Amino acid sequence: MIRPLLLAIATATVLASGPAGAQYRDQDEAYKAARSGEIRPLGEIIARVTPKVRGSFVGSDFDAGTRTYRLKYMREGSLVVVDVDASTGRVLGMSGK
């Protein structure tokens, strides 16, 4: 009984420290930085970028290291990815149709 429990705890620890754990840390960093005014809030960024993309917003990621948002849109059945400077709101690049 103890071994399966220890295995489950070890697995959860490894998973939390991997990419998913990093994602949560980045999201926490984005929240703190937006509250302190270091970066623009995600909602503001989405409102600025969406009219330029002319697609349906489907998700986002924040990279704490580069302080950029990666916004994802669907447009005419294709994924469009837009990288945005979180501090200024400036579009850094766009890929997709």
CATH number, domain containing residue 60? 3.10.450.40
DSSP H stretches of helix in the chain: 2-17, 19-36, 42-53
Helix, strand or coil, per DSSP, at residue 36: helix
- Model pTM above 0.75: no
Q: How confident is the model at residue 13 (pLDDT cuts 50, 70, 90)?
A: very low
**Whole domain around residue 61: which residue ranges?**
2-95
Angle of helix 19-36 relative to helix 2-17, nearest 10 degrees? 50
- The total of structural domains in the chain comes to 1
Q: How confident is the model at residue 43 (pLDDT cuts 50, 70, 90)?
A: very high
Query: Which has more confidence, 84 or 35?
Result: 84
Cβ pair 29, 64 in contact under 8 A: yes
